[in-house]
Amino acid sequence: MRKPFSLLPLLITIAFPVCAEFTIPFPENARKKEVPPIESSREERVSPRTVSIKEKEKKEAKLASRNVTEEAAKERERETSLPKIQRTRPRTGNQTAGPIPPRFYRGLYVNNSIISDKKSRKKWETLLQDASDAGINVLVIDLQPFTLSASEVARVKELGFYPVGRLVNFEGGLKTELPSQDRMNSILNYVRKACASGFPEIQLDYIRYADITEIKIPLKQKYKNISGVIDQIRTEANQCEKLPYLGADIFGRIPFNKDDQIGQKVENFAQAIDVIYPMLYPSHFYGQPSRIANPYQTIYDGLLNTKKRSLSTTRVVGWIQGFTMSIRSSGKSLKDYIKAQIEASVDSESDGFIVWNIQNQYEETFRAIRETIKDGKLKIED
């Protein structure tokens, strides 16, 4: 459900973060708009060693560019050609609300370089055609530094896609207690650009504190500050002619953590935004080899935990892994690794999945989707 009005920042606090671990079952989020804070006298504790986001993305980019294994190549030769997916266009809303989100997101991430570089025009057109043929209905498209024009967003919609504008708030995470006014002005400017271009949904990424930081802020204050940023963005979005939905990305460990030092908490986000996107890439569960080796269970547990801790009206769409990093321990090809994650997205009764590949190499993703549909484990309904 769209929230067309600002919500008060929440003051939920437990003063120290917990490492990524199972805490199932979580109680259902109270269906109230205000949650009383839980006071605690403990001081915030520094989490165990973590890997910086930039390092992760550099590794991911290198690994994503590798060719598929010989086993996967042989498998491709044995496969018969799978038919193109026939589907109807997404449902559309009224002139005020704009397009209605699909019942189930089958999405891909689109890197800004593809849409901003004229030399990549052919790659962009090929991606649109291949994605449509494979049954993709959502494209998460970077808003920065180049925002798609209104005419191009309209064309994407006409092609049958629901476009989501990805807005990076604090790359690498916020490293000061509060963002500078210049930074907030930039964020709000891109919200206006997204609205002017006709994006029906804006997805907030890096809406958190840095995982490794020298600043000493009580966890309670971190929650309050992040909620305050979201509230400013919501206020700006409410000025748009067609009110956009707001989504937000959260670390993959957040659904398993009761509290976390980066200032993200499922219950808080569920109160403030419309769609929660847990980034559940199995390869990023460092120090937990069972999570890396079992992509189905990792996605299933993460999505189920997020749903249990959210409001009944909150949509939960998982980011899943479409790159080769650390998949060897699973014994699966990249295609089958992706298939397992898609099946978990369906079985957990989530609202969909978005595949992340920073270089937008989605050949194995398209094969995985087609096979999942052919096996009757993924339906094309919109």
SS3 278: strand
Q: φ, ψ for residue 98 (rounded to 5)? A: 80, -170
pLDDT number for residue 242: 94
Assessment of whether the complete model's pTM goes beyond 0.85: no
Place of tokens 């748009």: 240
When mean pLDDT is compared over 12-16, 34-38, 327-331, the highest value belongs to 327-331
Instruction: Indicate whether 21 pLDDT > 80.
Output: no
Q: What does the alpha-carbon distance between residue 284 and residue 276 come to, in Å, rounded to a whole number?
A: 18
- Of residues 238 and 213, more confidently modeled: 238
Beta bridge partners of 346: none
CB atoms inside a 10 Å sphere around CB 18:
16
In 10 A of CB 258, how many CB atoms? Answer: 16
Q: Which amino acid is at 243?
A: L
Indicate if the pLDDT at residue 163 is higher than 90: yes
Reported in sequence order, the residue ranges of the chain that DSSP labels E, i.e. its strands, are 105-110, 138-142, 162-168, 201-205, 245-251, 275-279, 315-316, 318-321, 352-356
Q: Omega before 9 cis (within 30°)? A: no
Q: What is the pLDDT of residues 217-239, one digit of tens each?
A: 999 999 999 999 999 999 999 99
Q: Which residue shows structure tokens 């400013």?
A: 232
Close Cβ partners of 58 (under 8 Å, ≥ 6 residues apart) = none
Average pLDDT of every residue of the chain: 82
Residue closest to 37 by CA, chosen among 17, 61, 64, 11: 11
Sign for the pseudo-dihedral over CA of 232, 252, 104, 367: positive
Rounded-to-integer distance, Cα 208 and Cα 47, Å: 15
Superfamily for 53-374?
Glycosidases (3.20.20.80)
Q: What is the pLDDT of residues 277-316, one digit of tens each?
A: 999 999 999 999 999 999 999 999 999 999 999 999 999 9
pLDDT above 70 as % of the chain? 74
Is the per-residue pLDDT at 382 higher than 90?
no
Q: How confident is the model at residue 380 (pLDDT cuts 50, 70, 90)?
A: confident
Structure tokens at 274: 């419309």
Extents of the domains making up the chain: 53-374
Confidence band, pLDDT 50/70/90 cuts, at residue 153: very high
pLDDT digits (tens, 9 = 90+) for 80-117: 444 444 443 333 333 344 578 999 999 999 999 999 98
Q: Which residues are bridge partners to 353 per DSSP? A: 106, 318
